[in-house]
């Protein structure tokens, strides 16, 4: 039994001088600090000047793309994909995907993400890496059939799901059609039927470029959201990502469907120079989650940075300062992701998963400490994370990845290029 001591902050409340009691993978109680002696606690972490957060949920990732960090900078998304990323991905070997996925997950954990929702090739290797590092991982094998891309063959996606469903408490397989222009209507329908039969999540890129929108309209005479509806996959088990070119009518249709939209403000601003109509979606009742996308193009796996930019960029894009408040953005990064993935997580309450983060807030940027929600979104950095707990197990503490038995500098030494 563990106790985390500090100011417990979730989207619903701020409880100062709190003790969060953890046992058997769940939060057992949240009590005043002075009552911690009522429980047979083995270890106590934190104390005065610490902040306890629900683990951040990175609802859209490609963790193995840590291998491509810094490549293909400052070019539009279609050139970035066709000229840089896809040629590099065709050179992947399974073992290399596993190594770089582990590095990406370790970076995410160290920066406060307890859950990732990953969409990539060689998903078996990514799942094995997730087991090694101890992160909660939803993983889908990327599939497409409108272009020749051998490592994305459709049968691989179904096989991966069947091989991993129910296999590991922390690894949940999903279905991962690449994007609306990369998957035929026939295959998307097949994915929808498969998902309904197995209560599976579908994770898909949506309207991430004008080229995608034009291609879907050329083939089917429909915009991407209507294409998803026609395919029978537009519903509450769908996790769409990006959505930067959604029309107003698509926003309304999407909001009514119950699907989640994952907002990746940094990657889309960098690759397309714009962001999605998140405010319109949110105001119409869409569940919004937050994603960091990947180490390329964003540069780092830090959801605190993602929260900060989501708050600021939505204000700039809408020319309004009253949108994307700190509390709303914090919700997207916690409760929004949990709802999308069907997790009882994102809040610090008894009965919720003990996926928790301890922040060392004994630093200048956390003073005067009067508005913790603001401090979490605008002041905190991934480097402020001192401890990360997943499923009630400490998997990162003071630079050590406990399941790996390695520190971040050990990983750096393993991955650094050889030579001068």
Tens of pLDDT, residue by residue over 235-282, are: 999 999 999 999 999 999 999 999 999 999 999 999 899 999 999 999
pLDDT at 420: 43
Residue 368 burial (C-beta neighbours within 10 Å; 0-12, 13-18, 19+): exposed
Tens of pLDDT, residue by residue over 347-358, are: 999 999 999 999
User: pTM higher than 0.85, yes or no?
Assistant: yes
Tens of pLDDT, residue by residue over 368-388, are: 999 999 999 999 999 999 999
Residue matched to tokens 């100062």:
16
Q: What is the mean pLDDT of residues 324-341?
A: 98
Tens of pLDDT, residue by residue over 101-156, are: 999 999 999 999 999 999 999 999 999 999 999 999 999 999 999 999 999 999 99
pLDDT at 154: 97
Tens of pLDDT, residue by residue over 89-99, are: 989 999 999 99
**What's the gap between Cα 20 and its chain centre?**
24
Domain 56-341 maps to which CATH number in 3.50.50.60, 3.20.20.140, 3.40.50.620, 3.90.1150.10?
A: 3.20.20.140
What are residue 287's phi and psi, to 5 degrees?
A: -75, 125
The fraction of the chain above a pLDDT of 70, given in percent, is 99
**What's the gap between Cα 334 and its chain centre?**
10
Domain ranges of the chain: 2-55+348-409, 56-341
Element (H, E) at 48: strand 43-54
Q: Does the structure show a pLDDT above 80 at 418? A: no
Quick one: angle between helices 224-231 and 248-257, nearest 10?
30
Element (H, E) at 172: strand 171-177
Q: What is the CATH architecture assignment of 2-55+348-409?
A: Roll (2.30)
Helix, strand, coil tally for the chain in percent (to 5): 45, 25, 30
**b/e string for 198-211 if b means 16 or more Cβ within 10 A?**
eebbbbbbbbbbee
pLDDT at 419: 46
Categorize the per-residue pLDDT at 4 as very low, low, confident or very high, splitting at 50, 70 and 90: very high
Instruction: Please say whether the beta carbons of 274 and 268 come within 8 A.
Output: yes
Categorize the per-residue pLDDT at 5 as very low, low, confident or very high, splitting at 50, 70 and 90: very high
Instruction: Please say whether the beta carbons of 109 and 401 come within 8 A.
Output: yes
Listed residue (292, 277, 293) closest to 225, CA to CA: 277
Enumerate residues 6+ apart whose C-beta is below 8 A from 27: 20, 21, 348, 349, 350, 351, 352, 353, 354, 356
């Amino acid at each position: 039994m563990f106790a985390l001591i500090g100011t417990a902050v979730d989207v619903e409340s701020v409880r100062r001088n709190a003790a969060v009691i953890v046992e058997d993978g769940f939060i057992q109680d949240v009590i005043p600090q002075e009552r911690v002696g009522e429980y047979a606690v083995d270890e106590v972490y934190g104390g005065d000047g610490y902040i306890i957060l629900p683990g951040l949920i990175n609802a859209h990732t490609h963790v193995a793309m840590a291998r491509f960090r810094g490549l293909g900078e400052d070019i539009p998304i279609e050139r970035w994909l066709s000229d840089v990323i896809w040629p590099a991905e065709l050179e992947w070997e399974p073992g290399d995907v596993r190594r770089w996925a582990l590095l990406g997950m370790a970076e995410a954990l160290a920066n406060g993400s307890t859950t990732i929702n990953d969409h990539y090739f060689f998903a078996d290797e990514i799942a094995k890496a997730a087991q090694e590092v101890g992160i909660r991982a939803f993983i889908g094998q990327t599939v497409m059939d409108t272009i020749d891309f051998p490592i994305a063959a459709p049968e691989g996606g179904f096989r991966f799901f069947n091989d991993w469903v129910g296999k590991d408490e922390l690894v949940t397989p999903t279905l991962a059609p690449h994007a609306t222009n990369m998957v035929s209507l026939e295959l998307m329908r097949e994915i929808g039927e498969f998902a309904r039969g197995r209560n599976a999540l579908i994770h898909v890129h949506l309207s991430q470029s004008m080229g995608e929108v034009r291609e879907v309209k050329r083939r089917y005479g429909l915009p991407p959201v209507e294409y998803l509806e026609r395919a029978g996959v537009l519903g509450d088990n769908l996790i769409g990502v990006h959505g930067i070119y959604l029309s107003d009518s698509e926003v309304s249709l999407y909001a009514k469907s119950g699907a989640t939209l994952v907002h990746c403000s940094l990657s889309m601003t960098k690759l397309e120079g714009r962001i999605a109509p998140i405010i319109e979606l949110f105001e119409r009742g869409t569940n919004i989650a937050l994603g960091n996308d990947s180490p390329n193009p964003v540069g780092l796996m830090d959801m605190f940075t993602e929260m900060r930019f989501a708050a600021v960029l939505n204000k700039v894009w809408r020319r309004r300062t009253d949108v994307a408040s700190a509390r709303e953005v914090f919700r997207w990064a916690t409760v929004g992701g949990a709802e999308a993935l069907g997790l009882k997580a994102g809040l610090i309450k008894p009965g919720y998963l003990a996926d928790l983060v301890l922040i060392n807030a004994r630093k200048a940027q956390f003073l005067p400490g009067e508005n913790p929600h603001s401090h979490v979104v605008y002041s905190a950095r991934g480097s402020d994370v001192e401890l990360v707990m997943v499923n009630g197990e400490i998997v990162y503490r003071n630079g050590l990845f406990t399941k790996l038995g390695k520190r971040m500098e050990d990983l750096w030494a393993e991955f650094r290029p050889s030579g001068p």
